[in-house]
Amino acid sequence: MSIRLIVGLGNPGPEYEQTRHNAGFWVVDNLENGFHGNGWQKEAKFSALVSRAKIGGHDVWLMKPQTFMNRSGLAVGAMARFFRIAPEEILVVHDELDISPGQAKLKRSGSTGGHNGLKDIASALGTQDFWRLRIGIGHPRSLNLKSPVIDYVLQRPRREDMGGIEDAMARAIQIVPMLCEGQFDKAMKELHTVR
């Protein structure tokens, strides 16, 4: 079993491009560039932008749902059904409030942690048994900010946080080829080893 579909979560539109909630889009954009994907194509039947890239010697689909975060399952469910991609062959990349900027974590299944994009995907797939690559954006409380969470995720990261987020994304991107080769334990160990 290996990863065949990598979904970056975010909100479409220029006003959301630089916001914390779009960390998943940032990662798949970097994958698309770094692994010479065939360019983002609008796929109406999946309500998404999709691209195909060769990662770890395997053809892998990259996806940016264009449905807005809360309806991400519409796109993921449609594509998974069409290409017969099992939930455990799907990697969802998303922003994570409970992890500080500079950290990234990989896990399979488990709770959606109140993340509306994950909740909708779990509902569309009928299971929580898919992989998640979580990019830490920090929680406003832990960063001593007064913003409510809903506003915080839709704002640009502060300059001091952005460096950490970029580091975490770079480390996350390095392990993606291992996931596409089915080396999940190795990828997890590599990502979670403190440098």
- Per-residue model confidence as pLDDT tens digits over 128-159: 999 999 999 999 988 888 889 989 999 999 99
Q: What is the CATH number of the domain that holds 76?
A: 3.40.50.1470
Exposure on the CB side of residue 173, measured as CA atoms within 13 A: 20
pTM comes to 0.96
Q: Helix (H, G, I), strand (E, B), or coil: what is residue 149?
A: helix
Would you place residue 195 in the very low, low, confident or very high pLDDT band (cuts 50, 70, 90)?
low
- Non-local (6+) Cβ contacts of 107 within 8 A are 131, 132, 134
User: Cα angle at 153 between 47 and 23, to 5 degrees?
Assistant: 55
d(CA 104, CA 185): 15
13, 38, 138, 195 from 132: Cα distances, Å: 24, 24, 17, 22
Catalytically annotated residue among 21, 36, 94, 139 = 21
Q: Tens digit of pLDDT for each residue in 22-31?
A: 999 999 999 9
* 39, 51 Cβ separation under 8 angstroms: yes
Task: Domain count for the chain, please give it.
Answer: 1
Is 21 among the residues known to form the active site?
yes
> Domain containing 152: what range?
5-192
85, 104, 109, 119, 160 from 89: Cα distances, Å: 6, 20, 12, 18, 35
Q: Helix (H, G, I), strand (E, B), or coil: what is residue 42?
A: strand
* 78, 90 Cβ separation under 8 angstroms: no
